[in-house]
Amino acid sequence: MAKKRVLFSIGSLGGGGAERQVIQYLTHLDRSQFEPVLYLTKREGPFLSEVPDDVPIASFEERVALPRWNFPGAIYRLQVQDFRKFLIEQQIDLVCAVTIMNVLVAGEAIKSVNRPWLAVSMADLRNELKRELGRFSTIKHHKLSRAFRAADRVIAVSTGDREGLFACHQVDPEKTFIVPNSVDIERVETLASELSPNWDPHQFHIVLAGRLTHQKGHRFLIEAIDQIVHQQDLKQVQLHLLGQGELGSELKELVRALNLEDHIEFAGFINNPFPILKAADLFCLPSLYEGMPLILLEAMACGVPIVATDCPSGPRELLEDGKYGKLVTPENSGELASAITKAIENSAWREEVSRSAKEHVAEKYESNVTVHQLENHLLEIAHSEG
């Protein structure tokens, strides 16, 4: 059988979980059956350097001269036209459109060129949709629903993500499947072995990695640290926040107001967070909502005990109802502080849960396992077209 040229489309390779997952797809896709090609809206982001050498990269903003005036829908129409043109030029056999804006473009472009395609959702759309669609959200929502329903298959990364697709877009359950996010265990272990952070070993180090946005719930973790440090007098606690985002200034002001500057570090975006994760005593994820948080899998793969919010969706599924980490109510800094304190006081729990969680990730979420699931879906839609 001739190899299938598969186009993966995503906005950029910025430092998020969806972008990291696309790198996993490109890296582990079986080259005896597929030739991956990458199409970006913008050629930017820290993960560009991780794209395998054999994967051609194209970007909309390099291929198309943008209009001087951005009338409503003008950019979208240009994106659809160029996407369609690229499919023909590159003789693409299959398309895998990742995240909703790329599904929106691919769905319209593929109508007239008849390519089998997967629409991949990376978030629970019941929470994410309005923020992602921006202006003219009602029109975009209608078009997006048509695109998801037109796709040959729809891929969700978690049970909650799949339920969100049903609720928001009425997709066909018979063609909607879960392919969870994955971790390249060998790569994580290699990167984690690089230079460890120069931390005081007598302190208790907590890490959160994620964009500084409302969704990630940083405020509640900062308030929890305030209770732990100032009310419970656990002065040895240090919180390290990895990531950048629009709430950076606001969160730094909150830390100053709570007199926590000696206990909370804003480390910015770290291209290789794995030595930090490996060195941490605890990883906290205080999110208000997720899809399937890849950073949680990566922390588990590094052998870090977890405290996470039981938010929709992902953490409960990954931690198997609390078997592999503590779950707390979202937006509840008091409950979060209590869970962190119990973790600090119970070293036996930390040792046991970190060991079992690491084994669980290696067994169920290793990249080769989940990318093989994606390959099967690609092959099946290719054969159904043939």
- Residue 329 belongs to domain with CATH number: 3.40.50.2000
Q: Which residue has the higher pLDDT, 13 or 124?
A: 13
Q: What percent of the chain is modeled with pLDDT above 90?
A: 82
**What pLDDT, on a 0 to 100 scale, did the predictor assign at position 219?**
98
- For 58, half-sphere exposure in the C-beta direction (CA atoms, 13 angstrom radius) is 17
Q: Which residue has the tokens 């030029």?
A: 89
Residues 360 and 371 in one domain: no
Per-residue pLDDT, 116: 97
Residues 135 and 63 in one domain: yes
Classified as helix, coil or strand, 366 is strand
Band (pLDDT 50/70/90 cuts) for residue 320 is: very high
Residues 216 and 348 in one domain: yes
β-pairing verdict for 34-40 and 4-10: parallel
Say yes or no: 293 and 152 in one domain.
Answer: no
Same domain, 295 and 373: no
- Measured CA to CA, the distance from residue 302 to residue 275 in angstroms comes to 9
Each residue of 224-235: pLDDT tens digit?
999 999 999 999
Q: Are 124 and 77 in contact (CB under 8 A)?
A: no
Q: Residues 282, 352: one domain?
A: yes
CA torsion 107-112-114-119 (nearest 10°) is 0
pLDDT at 139: 80
pLDDT digits (tens, 9 = 90+) for 97-148: 999 899 999 999 999 898 999 999 987 777 766 566 666 677 878 888 999 9
- Domain ranges, residue 326: 186-364
Confidence of residue 270 (pLDDT cuts 50, 70, 90): very high
Tell me: cis bond preceding 313? Omega within 30 of 0 counts. yes
pLDDT at 356 over 80: yes
DSSP assignment of 162-180, as one string? Answer: HHHHHHHH---GGGEEE--
337 lies in the same domain as 195: yes
Q: Is there a contact between 17 and 105 (Cβ–Cβ < 8 Å)? A: no
Residue 2 banded pLDDT, cuts 50, 70, 90: confident
**Do residue 241 and residue 348 come from a single domain?**
yes
350 class by beta-carbon count within 10 Å (0-12 exposed, 13-18 middle, 19+ buried):
middle
Do residues 67 and 89 both lie within one domain? yes
Do 77 and 99 share a domain, yes or no? Answer: yes
Say whether pLDDT at 333 is over 70: yes
Q: Are residues 173 and 320 located together in one domain of the fold? A: no
Confidence bin at 374 (pLDDT 50/70/90): very high
* Count of structural domains within the chain: 2
CA distance 63 to 159: 37
Report the distance separating Cα 173 and Cα 164, nearest Å: 12
Same domain for 14 and 33, yes or no, is yes
pLDDT at residue 385 above 80? no
pLDDT band at 222 (very low <50, low <70, confident <90, very high): very high
* pLDDT of amino acid 138: 77
